[in-house]
């Protein structure tokens, strides 16, 4: 049977007696034949065939050197062995040598060939110790019985031992299922703690790699057209750019899952290559595609790929089904949180940050300034000139279009260099940090010119003729500088507002003014 990905088979009860009766050569042959049977059961693909000679050489060396150690201590074989203290001592030395050499061989292969971190003492070693303790007395009994009744001893000893192996296999399967369910519960609890969509997706994929040892993970969401579009693509634990593929129901593997609301499992490339449409990484053999369902509605599709054939056992299918249900709920909750947060922080009309968010960030920036983490702050306050006249002439809907276009233009000019927010009505603010006063003034002047030089397009107007018109507008801007002009947030806002109305508006509008004490 396979435990933790390692073949464990209770063969020592037979190999020990064979070694004691027939010697080292016969024991080596028996171990090699048994190894072939175990690796055949593992169903290696072509890329894993190197494990056959690698394991064969390792077990040959383990058998050979264990036998040499046994012989060097004075051990022999045949029915002339006297089962006294010395014989039991020599057999114990042989079994311990076999156990240690086997463990060292596995440790060397994992650490230096597979290049994975591996502790010397693992669960696999504990299982090896347990099997050695169990098989020790059974091997001795078989050795004694073979002398008197021959091959019939194999039946008398083998049947109960094989039954024991089956019981342990069932026990291990049960333990594996419980372990998976425990981890699933932990992951589900942790998923619910993630508030953001990308954070939730990244955490889920990280846990998938830990739990299932997959090579590829693709996540698709159902868009407003009831089609699948990719929202996450991870290959060999590396996040890659999304593909622009759109899949409809019954198109490809994911489309088939979208239509049926049922998982699809493929054990080899031959099984899925005719069904698949679109991109699939090279080397994929096994595929597990699972719907993400919430309230009996498919909201997305998860696709896992592995380079190994038959990588997804039934237990993994059951566990992944539970995980996907939890992930679907966590993903929708994260989307709802982000939408709610966005609505609370953004202006519904212009999509800029609102006053509440600006006020919070300004306070945080002042804290950074007071702690000497920032050199300075600059607040630019903007006001659209004669905005009431625009509303009176073209209507409030046209005024809204002006506000939207004005916000986009400012945001495009500032980009990621500062915070742009709607302060209220036709007033906007720009918050900058670590920028010199003259540089900030030049930037404000540049913004003023860009606003005045290009007209704004409106499609709605008060006469209901919906004619597209170009409207030229100007804006006045006021600047205040911290810590020179203000030492706290409200003072900075008040001084920027004073610069706007006293220095720019009263001076004729369409100009930039700085705060003057």
pLDDT in tens, 186-235: 888 888 888 899 999 999 999 888 888 789 999 999 998 999 999 999 99
Per-residue pLDDT of 388-403, as tens digits, reads 999 888 888 889 999 9
For the chain, give every domain's residue range: 2-183, 197-342, 355-514
β-strand 377-384 against 427-433: which pairing, if any? antiparallel
Q: Predicted confidence band at 5 (pLDDT cuts at 50, 70, 90)?
A: very low
Architecture in CATH for domain 355-514? 2-Layer Sandwich (3.30)
Segment among 270-284, 307-321, 327-341, 391-405 with least mean pLDDT: 307-321
- % of the chain at pLDDT higher than 90: 45
Per-residue pLDDT of 127-148, as tens digits, reads 778 878 877 888 888 878 877 7
d(CA 239, CA 198): 12
User: pLDDT at position 311, please?
Assistant: 83
Highest-confidence segment of 70-84, 125-139, 468-482: 468-482
Q: Which residues are CB-neighbours of 306 under 8 A, at least 6 positions away?
A: 213, 214, 215, 216, 284, 285, 286, 287, 312
Per-residue pLDDT of 497-508, as tens digits, reads 999 999 999 999
Segment among 8-22, 101-115, 432-446, 476-490 with least mean pLDDT: 8-22
Domain 197-342 maps to which CATH number in 3.40.50.850, 3.30.1600.10, 1.10.3720.10, 3.30.450.40?
A: 3.30.450.40
Cis peptide before 483 (omega within 30 of 0): yes
- Cα→Cα distances 271→98, 119, 182, 288, 308, Å: 42, 38, 32, 12, 13
Angle between helices 197-212 and 314-345 (to 10 degrees): 170
Mean pLDDT of the chain: 86
d(CA 179, CA 430): 54
pTM of the model: 0.61
């Amino acid at each position: 049977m396979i435990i933790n990905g390692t073949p464990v088979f209770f063969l020592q009860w037979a190999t020990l007696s064979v070694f004691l009766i027939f010697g080292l050569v016969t024991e080596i042959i028996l171990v090699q034949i048994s190894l072939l049977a175990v690796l055949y059961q593992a169903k290696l693909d072509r890329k894993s065939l190197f494990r056959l000679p690698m394991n064969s050489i390792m077990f040959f060396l383990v058998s050979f050197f264990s036998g040499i150690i046994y012989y060097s201590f004075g051990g022999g074989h045949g029915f002339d062995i006297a089962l006294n203290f010395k014989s039991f001592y020599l057999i114990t030395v042989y079994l311990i040598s076999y156990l240690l050499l086997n463990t060292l061989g596995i440790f060397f292969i994992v650490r230096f060939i597979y290049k994975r971190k591996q502790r010397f003492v693992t669960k696999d070693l504990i299982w090896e110790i347990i099997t050695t303790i169990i098989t020790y007395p059974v091997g001795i009994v078989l050795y004694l019985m073979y002398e008197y009744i021959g091959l019939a001893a194999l039946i008398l000893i083998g049947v109960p031992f094989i039954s024991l192996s089956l019981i342990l296999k069932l026990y291990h399967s049960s333990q594996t299922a419980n372990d998976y369910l425990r981890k699933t519960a932990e992951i589900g609890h942790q998923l619910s703690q993630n508030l953001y969509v990308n954070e939730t997706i990244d955490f889920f994929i990280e846990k998938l790699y830990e739990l299932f040892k997959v090579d590829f993970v693709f996540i698709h969401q159902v868009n407003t057209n009831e089609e699948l579009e990719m929202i996450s693509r991870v290959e060999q634990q590396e996040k890659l750019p999304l593909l622009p593929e759109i899949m409809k129901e019954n198109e490809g593997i994911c489309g088939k899952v979208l239509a049926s609301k049922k998982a699809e499992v493929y054990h080899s490339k031959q099984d899925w290559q005719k069904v698949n449409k679109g991109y699939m990484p090279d080397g994929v053999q096994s595929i597990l595609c699972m719907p993400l369902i919430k309230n009996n509605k498919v909201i997305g599709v998860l696709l896992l790929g592995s380079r190994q054939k038959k990588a997804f056992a039934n237990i993994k299918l059951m566990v992944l089904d539970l995980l996907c249900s939890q992930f679907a709920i966590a993903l929708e909750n994260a989307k709802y949180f982000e939408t709610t947060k966005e609505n609370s922080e953004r202006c519904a009309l212009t999509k800029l940050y609102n006053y509440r968010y600006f006020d919070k960030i300004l306070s945080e920036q002042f804290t950074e300034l007071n702690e000497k983490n920032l050199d300075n702050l600059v607040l630019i306050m903007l006001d659209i000139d004669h905005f009431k006249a625009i509303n009176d002439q073209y209507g409030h809907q046209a005024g809204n279009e002006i506000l939207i276009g004005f916000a986009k233009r400012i945001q495009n000019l500032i980009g990621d260099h500062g915070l742009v927010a709607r302060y209220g009505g036709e007033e906007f603010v720009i918050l900058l940090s670590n920028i010199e006063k003259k540089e900030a003034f030049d930037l404000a002047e540049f913004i003023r010119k860009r606003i005045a030089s290009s007209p704004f397009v409106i499609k709605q107007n008060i006469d209901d003729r919906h004619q597209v018109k170009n409207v030229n507008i100007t804006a006045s801007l006021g600047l205040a500088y911290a810590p020179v002009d203000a030492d706290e947030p409200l003072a900075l806002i008040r001084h920027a507002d004073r610069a706007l109305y006293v220095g720019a508006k009263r001076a004729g509008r369409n100009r930039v003014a700085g705060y003057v004490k």
